[in-house]
Amino acid sequence: MTGAGPTGSGSVASTAPGWRRWPGWQPLAVALAAAGLLIVAVASARSLSLWGRDPVPVIAVLPFQNLSVEPESEYFVDGLTDEIIRNLAVINGLEVRSRTSSFTFKNKPHNTSEVGAALQANLVLEGSVLRDGPKLRIDAQLVRVADDLPLWSGRFDRELKDVFAIQDEISRSIVNELRLKLGRGQRRYSTTIEAYDLFLKARVLEARRGDGIRRAIDLFGEVLKQDPTFVPAYAGLANATAEASFVDDISQDQPGSVLRVAALRAIELDPLLAEAQAAMGHVHACAGEWPEAERSFRRALELNPSLTTTYTDFVLSTLLPEGKIDEAMRQLEVALRVDPRSLDVRRVLANVQISAGLYDRALENAETVLAVDPTFPYVGLFRARALLFKGDTTEAIRWFESQGPEIHGFLGYAYAITGRRAEAEALAAEDHPDHQAFIYAGLGDRDRAFDALQRFAALNRRRAAMQLTRPELANLRGDPRMAAVRSQLGLPR
């Protein structure tokens, strides 16, 4: 072989000047360099062609089709889809669309290109589940959006007890197909099928929020009775309890509270579980430990950036109470990119925009949500508040009056600022400090407003801190007594 010999690389160096002396060396060198670049480009293009032109694979996991006839199998299938999303979300180099956006396609006709365009994804995972007694069949297929080409498919005929291994195998098959790298340190959990059934049902109820959250709390508790070692159930119990505490005047800052006990157990057993870190964020926020709450939520998002509820919980429990309005909106914009069809993110964004004084944008987001789901919780309230501060007091009051006593604080405030003082005083007499703070602020009675605010701060620290950002309390902010309230809540003065 020419050019080979005992001199090794030295012989190459000795011939290099000869190249330069040869009249045709320059064009040949350019040609060789171009060929090298072409090889690199072809290799790169081949790598990129797996998922299209976008150099980052973005996957949407559609709700698996339920082929089972067993009672409540829908919860199992939805929960299984959710768990696959969570497994994929910890893979390095893979961006995963959140559950709420993917589930907008549940039971609706669609094609791959529609899904890709709506969710800004270049890969789609779809499948079906048939559960028959102890048997389980799962069919799954990974499709490239650009040309509707299946990149991988698999059929899993297993025992029901192997469901955890199937989830793991699906994730690993996708990793291998896309030549990605598995996240490190992620535990794979196992439990009994009975406990797992309850857990999946609780997860689905937790994701829906609203009235189902209390049932989710009960189910997570049942899971832990059956299997006290199942870490995700501790995190689920803590986060669901935190969600309920946003509306219930139940203090969660005590050492023996359900939230604290469950969150500490989850973080002790698995500090790399994103939901466990988020649960600790709630614990710190309830205790007024705001920097610690921020660190926990940021760690949760680092571990799993696809969990939409972590973004919204971070904003509502920590950033909004701290008054970090701009960062709250930035976090929600990231959440919308991860979960472009999330009604929850738009709802929370409308809420934050009202505190920022962006009433037109808040109204637009609220009406976007209501156009999709007119019954979506709390959005009607945000729409009415945006209208009120835009000056449409008649329509706002009409909506407030159509609701129940839970929004009497907002109604009383609206009465107060429109001169209907007697009606405002009548609502303030109902003696709920949360409502009274708004009403008395609207009436210009700072003494009674601050008294109500301090009583509410003792009742529910997080909600009281969040109320300080409301425009309904704007005329209290220049009062020296506000510093004392902020100190009571552990906020900077």
Helix ranges (DSSP H) in 153-289: 163-178, 193-208, 213-226, 231-245, 258-269, 274-286
Token pair of 218 as six digits: 């009960």
pLDDT score of 462: 81
User: Letter for the amino acid at 129?
Assistant: V
Domain residue extents for the chain: 58-186, 189-303, 407-493
Token pair of 470 as six digits: 């409301």
User: Which homologous superfamily does the CATH classification assign to the domain defined by 58-186?
Assistant: ABC-type transport auxiliary lipoprotein component (3.40.50.10610)
Would you report the helix, strand and coil content of the chain in percent, each value rounded to 5? 65, 10, 25
pLDDT score of 348: 95
Closest among 254, 256, 313 to 286, alpha carbons compared = 254
Q: Give the span between the Cα atoms of 345 and 341, in whole angstroms.
A: 9
Q: Give the span between the Cα atoms of 309 and 315, in whole angstroms.
A: 10
**Strand, coil or helix: what is 96?**
strand
Q: Give the span between the Cα atoms of 272 and 470, in whole angstroms.
A: 35
**Strand, coil or helix: what is 61?**
strand
- Tokens 């309890």, located at residue: 241
pLDDT score of 352: 97
* DSSP assignment of 108-172: S---HHHHHHHHT-SEEEEEEEEEETTEEEEEEEEEETTTTEEEEEEEEEEEGGGHHHHHHHHHH
Q: Give the span between the Cα atoms of 219 and 72, in whole angstroms.
A: 14
Q: Give the span between the Cα atoms of 414 and 401, in whole angstroms.
A: 10
CB atoms within 10 A of CB 106: 14
CB 178 within 8 A of CB 94: yes
CB 450 within 8 A of CB 473: no
Q: How many CA atoms lie within 13 A of 108 on its CB side?
A: 11
Distance of CA 193 to the CA centre of its chain: 27
Closest among 284, 256, 249, 278 to 266, alpha carbons compared = 278
Closest among 431, 474, 471 to 452, alpha carbons compared = 431
Closest among 378, 399, 377, 404 to 388, alpha carbons compared = 399
pLDDT score of 345: 94
Q: Can you say whether the dihedral through the CA atoms of 171, 176, 180, 182 is positive or negative?
A: positive
pLDDT score of 256: 61
CA distances from 124 to 28, 57, 60 (A): 46, 10, 5
Burial-class residue 40 by CB neighbours within 10 Å (0-12, 13-18, 19+). exposed
CA distances from 310 to 5, 24, 264, 429 (A): 63, 64, 17, 37
Closest among 398, 434, 390, 433 to 415, alpha carbons compared = 398
Phi-psi region of 77 (alpha: psi -120 to 50; beta: other; left: phi over 0): alpha
pLDDT score of 7: 34
CB 131 within 8 A of CB 158: no
Q: Give the span between the Cα atoms of 153 and 163, in whole angstroms.
A: 17
pLDDT score of 71: 65
Closest among 304, 383, 372, 299 to 340, alpha carbons compared = 372
What are the mean pLDDT values of the chain's consecutive 10-residue runs (493 residues total)?
36 36 42 38 40 72 88 80 82 83 85 90 91 86 91 86 80 76 60 86 76 88 94 93 75 72 93 93 91 96 90 94 95 92 93 98 97 91 98 97 95 98 96 94 97 90 89 94 91 80
CB 393 within 8 A of CB 399: no
Q: Give the span between the Cα atoms of 493 and 490, in whole angstroms.
A: 9
pLDDT score of 84: 85
pLDDT score of 443: 97
pLDDT score of 186: 55
- The topology under which CATH files domain 189-303 is 1.25.40
